[in-house]
Structure 1
Amino acid sequence: MSLEPLADQQLAAVVTYLEMRARPVLAVPSSPLRLERWVRPTSDEYRRLFRRVGAPWLWFSRLVMDEGELGAILGSDAVELFRVVAEDEGEAGLLELDFREPESCELAFVGLVPELAGRGHGRWLLAEAVEHAWRPGVARVHVHTCSLDHPAALAAYRRAGFMPVRRAVETFADPRLAGVLPSDCAPQVPLLGTPTSGAASCA
């Protein structure tokens, strides 16, 4: 066993890759939320919801992605975007399904705003994601999660029928130090160093 030191500005996460090769028997539970197809949002619209859903877990990849690259994803006919909508709270979550790989669907991003955590809505959203992912021509549905995500994420994927197939360790610069995310995001992950200017609060 060995420990690899990291610079203060670096974070490390264990990434677990999961997949399913057959459509599971998975009932979609009832929910007061609804899933709404989101056709070609602007980059700003997408990033706003992406940040609201993912900031507590240090999601940042789409916040720093080149505008042209992100626009190509959002405008692709092989990528399906959905917003989770709550009657009283407006936009409440995000689902992104990526069909660009032949015979495959990736649950690229799936999550709810932090205000809805712990209410059982995640099980509904994941069931909806699996239901929308499986269609004629799809032989594999896959997803990955990491040790920085919600602590219940891995168990939820396994409960939905996904099987772990491999692991990797990812290292990256802490997005809070660069001002990509506010410094008070993800307080469960200690911040080492002094952040540059950026958004004032994760709330």
Structure 2
Amino acid sequence: MQQVDGFSPVPPGKVATIVTHLEMTARPDPAPVPELPSLVLGRVRAPDLAQYRQVFLDVGGREWLWCSRLLLDDAALAAILNDDAVELFYLRDGAAVVGLLELDFRETGACELAFLGLVPAWVGRGAGRYLMNIALTRAWTRPITRMHVHTCTLDHPGAVAFYRRAGFVPVRQEVEVFDDPRLGGILPPDAAPHIPVFTP
């Protein structure tokens, strides 16, 4: 259906966002990264699902309304994370997990940068560039011709610019409407306070 110009109502209990899809078709030069001696990145195989959900919540749920993985039951989530074509990494500061990186190679010849994020205390300190450099290096050592990612207007306001600096190019936009996860108990009621809740 063609979208008409002008305002479109969003039903109570729903959230609307504009999704930007970005991609690259060749490996870019890596960006300079500051020294981050306390951080250690490690691949996680067959992750504990409860821990993964907590990391996902800490990195994106509370601040940016990330909820897609929190909607999945154990079987569906494990099927993704335990797939040999999916690479999951935790970024740790000591024992604490402070970042998440997930690469999805399930599409032949492509890599989706499924998730890249940091807990709020580490945003703006160079750790995101470090994770991005790792992501690009791992992706482009595979026989791919395309790497892609998407973000939305609910995410960090600098997300599109960050991806563009990394070498991604915007290719299309979509409007997404979905159930507000704070109303169904998927996310806490005080998550993403900059996004208003409209109760049915």
TM-score scaled by length of structure 2: 0.92
Percent of aligned positions that are identical: 52
1:28, distance to aligned residue in structure 2 (A): 5.1
Q: Distance in 2 between matches of 1:71 and 1:106?
A: 18
Deviations 1:133-185 (A, max 9, x none): 11131111110000000011100000000001111110001100111101111
Alignment length (residue pairs): 193
The alignment's C-alpha RMSD in Å is: 1.4
1:15, distance to aligned residue in structure 2 (A): 0.4
1:68 maps to 2:106: no
Q: Which residues of 2 match residues 52-67 of structure 1 at below 5 A?
A: 52-55=58-61, 56-67=63-74
Q: Distance in 2 between matches of 1:152 and 1:146?
A: 11
Q: Distance in 1 between matches of 2:71 and 2:142?
A: 34
The residue number in structure 2 matching 1:31 is 36
Q: Distance in 2 between matches of 1:86 and 1:143?
A: 26
The residue number in structure 1 matching 2:114 is 108
Gapped regions of structure 2 (runs ≥ 5)? none
Match for 1:15 among 14, 19, 23?
19
1:160 maps to 2:154: no
Query: One-letter code of the match for 1:132?
Result: R
What SS does the corresponding residue of 2:185 show, helix, strand or coil?
Answer: coil
1:42, distance to aligned residue in structure 2 (A): 2.1
> Could you say if the C-alpha distance between residues 28 and 85 of structure 1 is closer, same or farther in structure 2, counting changes exceeding 3 Å?
farther
Q: Would the aligned equivalents of 1:28 and 1:128 in 2 still touch at CA under 8 Å?
A: no
What SS does the corresponding residue of 1:12 show, helix, strand or coil?
Answer: strand
1:86 maps to 2:93: yes
Q: Distance in 1 between matches of 2:42 and 2:49?
A: 18
Query: One-letter code of the match for 1:64?
Result: L
What SS does the corresponding residue of 1:130 show, helix, strand or coil?
Answer: helix
Q: Would the aligned equivalents of 2:31 and 2:129 in 1 still touch at CA under 8 Å?
A: no
